[in-house]
Structure 1
Amino acid sequence: MKTYIALLRGINVGGEKKVLMAELRDFLTEIGFKNVQTYIQSGNIIFNSEEEEQFKLEEKIRDAILANFGFEVPVLVRTHQELEAIFKNSPFSEEKKKSSYFSLLYNTPNKNLANEASKIEYENEEIIITANCVYFYSAIGYGKTKYNNNFFERKLKVTATARNYKTMVKLLELAAKND
């Protein structure tokens, strides 16, 4: 049985697409996931499953949310090892990494689009675009950055969901306990 982390995009933001984590844990357990845990209200789920195909897990979670809450939500599922590799591969120094963000990509972006987006520079901000993540650092904080999840989705034409350093650390810690 593998440990997975599911990241939901765009729930519980500004009163939109409200999902109660207790309900989410309950119905995911009912549909067969094991050791289901959630972390904060932004849609982070740690669970175990025998299913090997991540797209099937994404589909199952997406369908369950639609059936239980009445709206669609993009769902990204990664194994504990995949998320850990993304975290460890951050190109930033430890100091910058602690203030950085990880915009996890649902699909590999087109190389030309990634190259074009990489050329856009803003003062006190840095981005590195890879096949599965945009690593970005902002000395002025996420609330004031010109780089944000919507920016990356528009420029790369892929769905993405962002998590900060502290959330990534906590998700990896919880996933390690599920292994």
Structure 2
Amino acid sequence: MITHLALLRGINVSGHNMIKMEALKTTLENIGFQKVTTYIQSGNVFVTTEEDNPSKVGFLIKQEIFKAFGHEVPVVVIAKADLDACLVNNPYLKEKDLDTKKLYVAFTSIELRSDAINDLKMSQVKPDQAQIDGNRIYIKYAVGAGKTRLDQKYIEKKLNVTATIRNWNTVTQLLAMYEDLE
């Protein structure tokens, strides 16, 4: 059995795509996922299954959410290794006096080319900063996530991917949960 982490984009935000976590848990258990565990209301769902293909797991979750709740919700499925890499490879963690409240990670649906940072046209979003690492984009906002152009829509448009962003606290909490579930 394999544990996957499905990151649902855009649910329970500003009254849109409302899904109660208990209803989501039941819905996913009804299609055969086991040990379904959610973290906060913003769409972080652990599922255990024999299916080893993350894309297939994401498709099944997306399809079932549409059938059960009528919402078209993008899903990015990541492994524990993706969260481990966040702690090891995030270049901003090495900075002195770092404010982790300004650190975020965008998880993308595909592995990004090493030169994809050029496609983000970072000069258009300065003073915000970003570094690409596989299917992760480490982001350090100058002011905060609410006052930036470097958001999920911008990333998706520039890189032609599905992306979902989590703050640093959520990333570390999800890693701790993954370790407890395995």
Identify whether the pair has TM-score above 0.5, normalized to the shorter chain: yes
State the partner residue of 1:115.
118
Partner residue in 1 for 2:155: 152
TM norm structure 2: 0.88
Aligned to 1:169: 172
Instruction: Note the C-alpha offset of 1:166.
Output: 0.4
Equivalence for 2:21: 21
| Corresponding residue of 2:10 | 10
Q: Shift of the alpha carbon at 1:106? A: 0.8
Measure the CA separation in 2 of the matches of 1:48 and 1:97.
34
**1:120 counterpart SS class:** helix
Instruction: Indicate how the Cα distance of structure 1 residues 33 and 134 shifts in structure 2: closer, same or farther if over 3 A, else same.
Output: same
Superposition pairs of residues 130-145 of structure 1, within 5 angstroms: 130-145=133-148
Q: For residue 135 of structure 1, report the CA deviation from its aligned partner.
A: 1.0
Distance apart, 1:96 and its partner CA: 3.5
The Cα shift of 1:14 comes to 1.6
User: What displacement does 1:97 show?
Assistant: 7.2
CA RMSD of aligned residues (A): 2.0
SS of 1:155's equivalent in the other structure is helix
Partners of 1:162 and 1:136 lie apart in 2 by 9
Asked whether the equivalents of residues 97 and 137 of structure 1 are also in contact (C-alpha less than 8 Å), the reply is no
Identity of aligned residues (%): 35
Alignment: residue pair count: 179
Against the structure 1 CA distance between its residues 67 and 87, is the aligned structure 2 distance closer, same or farther, given a 3 Å change threshold?
farther
Contact 1:6 1:75 in 2 (8 A): yes
Normalised by the length of structure 1, the TM-score is 0.90
